[in-house]
């Protein structure tokens, strides 16, 4: 094997009642690349994310992370293994400050428990110091270092999305899944987002993103996977995919002959 | 700098609280309220657990009196009927109540929101019926009397003054432990679950396990409080742990501010003073007053009365300082 794969899915399917949301999808995600998953609304992109992160149990098929079968691994353990994600609806902790949101991101990388916390043993101080340091590091990376004490909910949407991204990075993942990171952002913010995603890749984190904004995807993604009605209909570089008849048909509708 | 200043203030507040608590039993101060303050301490312990469960983790419990009563009855039965040392009985009660919470925790937390509230309400009712019906153990509706006092060697906690200090020793320990937990990665995880379970899980937080653990902690607190209660009044009867008791506990937590550890003292204090001093002539109509308080606080100050007062105090302080800064 010449290329190292960080994530693989084999015949991955998800059935809700009678609806096949994801239909035997094979993915092979290369380590260190930016991959985009695109497709019309209802194509199963977010469901695919939920299968990879373990929010939904798999109906059929396999999810492998660095060659390890994930099917039976609960979601919180996948975070510890090195898979992070963001959500379409942001899902910040509105009852916490920006810094506390970030510190929560360090949860899988810290270890002291209830007992140590209750008695505030020295280990707590040591780890808390480290947690704050890491939180600030990733907060500065997305340029929110000056909003530390602000309530997370009080940020404008663009910054909320950056915070959610930084919080996911604070789990120090090897693979990060971004669900529509560009939605609701203006042109300037989208450009900044592109730069940020490239920087994340340079840090050695593999990126998979679901995105509707085609210019953003085409400028960013090194590999594009196209889903339609739960099936993978095409994949390749941005240029290859754009020329694929099946892709054009899926987006614009097929001409009746 | 700002946080440093803030934490200095909170140390000052805690120190002031210490002094206040030590002065209370003196006759020239609030001596006649020593007994009342014993109950405030006991109920504060239950309320803190409820705050961590409801305010921080966002999991409603309308049956906290079940754990309170379980602790009380296990302590009473062990030390009265079986002659077990009260301290040991208290420890066994806490362990058993905690184990009980652990066992029911996993099935009960498959439920969320209103359904969870209903389930905990049911738990409270079931336990109350058991307290009343298991006559051969609990003494039925009449309860039990002649439960011994706690003692260390020859030192018996027989006067209300001694018990006052005993109860508040436990109460402050519980408050400090709770504050430490809340201000740690555990506390952040709990609040994360309240904020968004999906996001919490994606950050590696084992949501169900955390909910169960905090339920166990709140149950152990409630059990400890129940034990302290029976070793204070040396009697136990089921009315103390009925549905209304669970509602009163929620009122205490809400008045103090659901997400406020130290507010619990305020909530428990205000509610006990209401029920022991002001509402006696209302008889059973006091339920209406509690209901009204609950509704009004939730509408006008959902953060709780205590938190609101703190806010007002902060605002006044800032305004005062600004005025002082002007030439």
Q: Which is more confident, B150 or A42?
A: B150
Helix (H), strand (E) at residue A84? strand A83-85
**ipTM for the whole complex:** 0.92
Joined together, the tokens standing for residue A179 give: 């669900």
| Max CA pair span of chain A | 75
Strands A60-65 and A5-16: antiparallel
Joined together, the tokens standing for residue A193 give: 């987002």
pTM metric for this prediction: 0.91
pLDDT in tens, A193-239: 999 999 999 999 999 999 988 889 989 999 999 999 999 999 999 98
Strands A34-38 and A206-210: parallel
Which of B181, B196, B199, B307 has the highest number of chain A CBs within 10 A, making it the mutation to test binding with A? B199
Binary contact (A149, B2; C-beta < 8 A): yes
pLDDT in tens, B234-257: 999 999 999 999 999 999 999 888
CB atoms < 10 A from the CB of A67, how many?
10
CA B65 to chain A, closest CA, distance in angstroms equals 24
pLDDT in tens, B262-303: 889 999 998 888 888 777 777 778 888 888 888 888 888 877
Name the pLDDT band for B3 (thresholds 50, 70, 90): very low
User: Where are the domains positioned within chain A?
Assistant: 1-82+173-257, 96-172
Distance set, CA B304 to CA B42, B194, B294 (Å): 20, 17, 10
- Determine the average pLDDT of the residues in A97-116: 95
Distance set, CA B142 to CA A64, A156, B107, B280, B326 (Å): 63, 60, 33, 21, 67
Residue that has been written with the tokens 């009380």 in this structure: B72
What is the C-alpha separation between A2 and A238, in angstroms, rounded?
22
What is the C-alpha separation between B153 and B62, in angstroms, rounded?
39
User: Which residue in the set A74, A75, A91 is minimally distant from B196, CB to CB?
Assistant: A91
CA B286 to chain A, closest CA, distance in angstroms equals 34
CA B197 to chain A, closest CA, distance in angstroms equals 9
Q: What is the pLDDT of residue A255?
A: 59
What is the C-alpha separation between B168 and B136, in angstroms, rounded?
33
pLDDT in tens, A63-90: 999 999 999 999 999 999 999 999 999 9
Rounded to 5°, the CA angle B172-B174-B176 comes to 70
- In chain B, residues with a C-beta closer than 8 Å to the C-beta of A105 are 203
Binary contact (B196, A103; C-beta < 8 A): no
Homologous superfamily (CATH) of A1-82+173-257 is P-loop containing nucleotide triphosphate hydrolases (3.40.50.300)
Q: What is the pLDDT of residue B20?
A: 87
Mapped onto helix, strand or coil, the DSSP state of residue A28 is strand
Strands A60-65 and A68-69: antiparallel
What is the C-alpha separation between A75 and A58, in angstroms, rounded?
12
Name the pLDDT band for B327 (thresholds 50, 70, 90): very low
Binary contact (B191, A106; C-beta < 8 A): no
User: Where are the domains positioned within chain B?
Assistant: 35-278+285-325
Q: What is the dihedral angle through the alpha carbons of B242, B245, B250, B252, rounded to the nearest 10 degrees?
A: -170
Helix (H), strand (E) at residue B47? helix B34-50
Q: What residue in B sits closest to A96 (Cα-Cα)?
A: B191
- For domain B35-278+285-325, give the CATH number: 1.10.3470
**Are the beta carbons of B219 and B74 closer than 8 angstroms?**
no
Q: What is the pLDDT of residue B284?
A: 77
Mapped onto helix, strand or coil, the DSSP state of residue A113 is coil
Q: Could you write out the DSSP letters of every residue in A174-241?
A: SEEEEESTTTT--HHHHHHHHHHHHHHHHTT-EEEEE-S-HHHHHHH-SEEEEEETTEEEEEE-HHHH
């Amino acid at each position: 094997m010449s290329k190292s794969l960080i994530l693989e899915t084999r015949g991955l399917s998800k059935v809700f009642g009678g609806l096949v949301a994801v239909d035997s999808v094979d993915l092979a995600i290369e380590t260190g690349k930016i991959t985009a998953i695109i497709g019309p609304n209802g194509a199963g992109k977010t469901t695919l994310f939920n299968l990879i992160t373990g929010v939904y149990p798999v109906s059929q098929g396999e999810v492998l992370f660095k060659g390890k079968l994930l099917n039976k691994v609960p979601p919180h353990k996948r975070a510890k293994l090195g898979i992070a994600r963001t959500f379409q609806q942001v899902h910040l902790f509105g009852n916490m400050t920006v810094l506390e949101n970030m510190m929560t991101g360090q949860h899988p990388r810290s270890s002291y428990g209830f007992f140590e916390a209750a008695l505030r043993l020295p280990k707590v101080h040591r780890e808390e110091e480290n947690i704050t340091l890491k939180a600030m590091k990733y907060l500065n990376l997305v340029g929110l270092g000056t909003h530390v004490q602000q309530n997370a909910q009080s940020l404008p949407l663009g910054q909320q999305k950056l915070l959610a991204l930084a919080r996911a990075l604070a789990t120090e993942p090897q693979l990060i899944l971004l669900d529509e990171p560009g939605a609701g952002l203006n042109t300037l913010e989208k450009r900044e987002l592109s730069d940020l995603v490239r920087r994340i890749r340079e840090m050695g984190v593999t990126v998979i993103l679901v995105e509707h904004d085609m210019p953003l995807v085409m400028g960013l993604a090194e590999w594009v996977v196209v889903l339609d009605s739960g099936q993978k209909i095409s994949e390749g570089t941005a240029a290859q995919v754009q020329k694929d008849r099946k892709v054009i048909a899926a987006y614009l509708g097929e001409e009746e002959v | 700098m700002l946080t440093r200043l803030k934490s200095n203030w909170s140390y000052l507040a805690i120190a002031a609280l210490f002094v206040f608590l030590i002065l209370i039993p003196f006759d020239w101060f609030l001596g006649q309220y020593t007994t009342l303050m014993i109950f405030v301490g006991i109920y504060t312990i239950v309320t803190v657990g409820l705050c961590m469960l409801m305010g921080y983790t966002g999991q409603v419990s309308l049956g906290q009196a079940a754990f309170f009563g379980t602790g009380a009855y296990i302590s009473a039965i062990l030390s009265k009927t079986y002659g077990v040392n009260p301290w040991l009985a208290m420890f066994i009660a806490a362990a058993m109540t905690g184990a009980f919470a652990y066992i029911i925790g996993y099935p009960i937390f498959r439920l969320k929101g209103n359904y969870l509230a209903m389930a905990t309400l049911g738990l409270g009712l079931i336990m109350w019926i058991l307290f009343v019906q298991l006559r051969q153990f609990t003494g039925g509706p009449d309860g039990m009397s002649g439960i011994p006092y706690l003692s260390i060697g020859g030192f018996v906690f027989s006067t209300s003054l001694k018990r006052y200090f005993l109860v508040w020793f436990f109460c402050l320990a519980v408050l400090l432990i709770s504050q430490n937990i809340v201000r740690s990665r555990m506390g952040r995880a709990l609040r994360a679950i309240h904020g968004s379970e999906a996001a919490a899980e994606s950050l590696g937080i084992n949501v169900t396990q955390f909910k169960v653990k905090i339920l166990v902690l709140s149950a152990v607190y409630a059990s400890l409080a129940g034990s302290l209660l029976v070793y204070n009044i040396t009697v136990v009867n089921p009315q103390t742990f009925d549905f209304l008791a669970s509602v009163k506990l929620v009122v205490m937590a809400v008045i103090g501010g659901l997400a406020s550890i130290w507010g619990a003292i305020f909530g428990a204090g205000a509610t006990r003073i209401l029920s022991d001093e002001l509402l006696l002539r209302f008889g059973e109509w006091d339920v209406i007053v509690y209901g009204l308080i609950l509704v009004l606080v939730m509408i006008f100050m959902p953060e709780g009365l205590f938190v609101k007062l703190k806010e007002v105090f902060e605002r006044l302080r800032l305004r005062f300082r600004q005025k002082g800064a002007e030439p």
